[in-house]
Chains A and B, each alone.
Chain A
Amino acid sequence: MKRIEVKLSLPVVAPLLDLMKASSDVLEAQIAAPLTLEDIDADFRDEWKAELLKGQHEELHALMGLFNSDFFVNGVVAFDEENAEVIVRACSALRLRLRRHDLKVLDDEQLESGSVDLEDITVPLQKPYMCYVFLGTIQELVIQHLDSAILRGPASERSTGSDDDEAGDDDERGGFGDKTD
């Protein structure tokens, strides 16, 4: 099973976790992306929304679970084919929440281009923006290294459990966020 370990900078990431947790809590009761289901039968729509919320809850639980007591000892988080999919989804959900709530004063163009300079935005915006960028970086990293695993689906959900990754057991360690200059 392919697995990547990423060593994060504790002084940089730890302060972001409170905001991630607060946003995650809000998303217990809210769908991250806007729902447009006017044409759907009301009962069906409620079931639809409940299923989406349930999935979203599981994703966010998996993401926040990465930052457990071990993380505060060694600063390492690990991604593999079992958690890759839910992690990238959770990052998306949180980024949508941050954009809609905490970063709503920023232009779409600024966010899409990633051209925001921390020094150019107000202090209250800096932490949400750092959080937004951090989640995007995690997402990109997982997609870059584990996209084929995501496309195949978790091994636990596949009928045959013997088709290991083409590259065989593969353990990569990255130094992302390792230090700040």
Chain B
Amino acid sequence: MPVTLPVLLPGRTPLREAGTRTGVAPAEVAETETVLAPQGPWRVVVINDPVNTMSYVVLVFRKVFGFSEALASKHMMEVHERGRSVVWSGLREQAELYAFALQQWHLTAVLESDETH
């Protein structure tokens, strides 16, 4: 199960024009709604590789995400056994930072969004 940090709900700002004060009622009330495009959820997925050892991967997960040893081990085993693990999900900007951090540690990390899957 992916670890999801609290994220802001996508902005939704209804803008309504109820009419004017000119005394002339508009024939038709324009109703518009601006919806801010959500930035999330994006998933940070770690892909298995045959090189990095289990203890190394656990260490990286603890270091990058602050996971407990048990949680880091769980994700590591998921990567090992299923070939991938979703280690974080949330806003794209933060997901990019995490993917970058994982790549600094030479893990293979990809970003996925609901749109791509």
**Chain A residues packing against B (C-beta within 8 Å):** 31-37, 39-40, 48, 51-52, 55, 88-89, 92-93, 95-96, 99, 108-109, 111-112, 136, 139-140, 143-144, 147, 150-151
Contact = CB atoms under 8 A, between A and B. Distances in A.
Contact of A139 (B56, B62, B100, B103): B56
B50 interface: yes
B56 A39 contact: no
A147 B103 contact: no
Contact of B106 (A40, A96, A151): A96
Interface magnitude class on chain B: 20 to 34
Contact of B49 (A37, A40, A96): A96
Interface of B: 49-53, 55-56, 59, 62-63, 96, 100, 103-111, 113, 116
Given A111-B50, A112-B50, 19 more contacts: A31-B103, A33-B103, A34-B108, A39-B111, A40-B96, A48-B100, A51-B100, A88-B59, A92-B52, A93-B106, A95-B52, A96-B49, A99-B51, A109-B50, A111-B51, A136-B53, A143-B59, A150-B59, A151-B59
A142 B60 CA distance: 13
Contacts of A48: 100
A68 B87 CA distance: 39
Contacts, number: 63
B85 to A, nearest CB: 15
29 contacts: A31-B103, A33-B103, A36-B108, A36-B109, A37-B111, A39-B111, A39-B113, A39-B116, A40-B111, A51-B100, A52-B103, A88-B56, A89-B105, A89-B106, A92-B56, A92-B105, A92-B106, A96-B49, A96-B52, A99-B50, A108-B50, A109-B50, A139-B53, A139-B56, A140-B53, A140-B55, A143-B55, A147-B59, A151-B59
Q: Is the interface of B mostly helix, strand, loop or mixed?
A: mixed
Contacts of B51: 92, 95-96, 99, 111
B108 A33 contact: yes
Contacts of A147: 59
Contacts of B108: 33-34, 36
Contacts of B63: 150-151
Contacts of A89: 104-106
A109 B63 CA distance: 27
Nearest to A51: B100
B65 to A, nearest CB: 11
B54 to A, nearest CB: 9
A36 B110 contact: yes
Given A96-B49, A99-B50, A140-B53, A35 B103 contact: yes
Nearest 6 CB-CB pairings of A with B: A108-B50, A92-B106, A33-B106, A36-B110, A112-B50, A99-B51
